[in-house]
Amino acid sequence: MKDVAARAGVGLKTVSRVVNKEPGVTADTERRVQEAITALGFRRNDSARILRKGRTASVGLVLEDLADPFYAPLNRAVEEVARAHGALLINGSSAEDPDRERELALALCARRVDGLIVVPAGDDHRYLEPEIAAGIATVFVDRPAGRISADAVLSDSFGGAHEGVAHLVAHGHRRIGFIGDRPRIHTAAERLRGYRAAMADAGLPVDESWISLGPTAPGRVRAEARRMLAGDRPVTALFTGNNRVTATAVRVIAAHARPVALVGFDDLELADLLSPGVTVVAQDPARLGRTAAERLFRRLDGVVEPPRRVELPTRLIARGSGELPPARG
């Protein structure tokens, strides 16, 4: 801190004010201090540890939706790691809105969290560069950061989707529909890429009417699933891009006249008890959360290393719906 103060030509108190985002510093002074911090590779958490006296440490977590059961075990796993490090968890939902993600992440930084774990809704995270430069450790989870270099802990969406679609192909399907989340979401795009690759690897043509990406609202998913299952040459199987889509697709299929094969990305509670059981490509959301939080605390403990992307494997669980043969048209 002394070095930063000397380099910026200000007092220690001023450096502390800038680091802690307290008022009473001119824009010009703040910029000089920030430049000195960047130049010297000053780690905010080192100073935070000194300045924090009496404050509880905290970690911010920006999720897509606190109410989505996929994120519940991830949330809990981050909490457990934070707790083991004596830190509280401050969290919130972006509701898949990049502006809301940005607003929430910056509010957490202003609240002086020690570190940040983000499930990004947007694809441009340059707004976090000053915070990261100022020493707020940041790890992305479930989806990578956009336009900045940062730690990311992901599931193998491409590989998982490839395996799930190949499984349907192996059970005789040639006409397979793909219903996924909005195309700008990294996982949705990766799973679509896995679908296309598996079809191509099997030498199967893809009709673009078999592909539908968009919001996971039940109304949209229901309409798209019904459309793909109607007409002269319907699809005989569906691959669904996440747990929200699968929950709706299962209902459409249950009400459909002919059997339709289904493999869904993400596991669902009770999925094993349906008739047939739902075959899924399962992620491990608790492990995603735990791995991201451990990575974050490694950084907070002062380990300096280049940003790393960790990809966790998925697991195909065959339960019946993905092993149905194609129904006669």
Q: Which of residues 271-290 bind its own copies (CB under 8 A)?
A: 271, 273-275, 286
Q: Which is nearer to its own copies, 121 or 198 (CB)?
A: 121
26 touches its own copies by CB under 8 A: no
48 touches its own copies by CB under 8 A: no
23 touches its own copies by CB under 8 A: yes
Dihedral sign for Cα 211, 216, 219, 221, please: positive
Q: Which of residues 58-77 bind its own copies (CB under 8 A)?
A: 58, 65-69, 71-73, 75-77
**In the chain, what's the furthest Cα-to-Cα distance?**
80
Contact with its own copies (CB under 8 A) among 91, 97, 146, 220: 91
216 touches its own copies by CB under 8 A: no
Q: Which is nearer to its own copies, 15 or 25 (CB)?
A: 25
Among 142-150, 191-199, 247-255, 258-266, which window interacts with its own copies (CB under 8 A)?
247-255
The residue with tokens 């540890």 is 49
What is the spatial distance between Cα 252 and Cα 247, in angstroms, rounded to a whole number?
A: 9
Note if the bond before 313 is cis, omega within 30 degrees: no
| Beta bridge pairs of residue 138 | 116
Contact with its own copies (CB under 8 A) among 8, 89, 199, 263: 89
Residues that bind its own copies (CB under 8 A): 21-23, 53-56, 58, 65-69, 71-73, 75-77, 79, 83, 88-93, 104, 107-108, 110-111, 247, 250-251, 254, 268-271, 273-275, 286
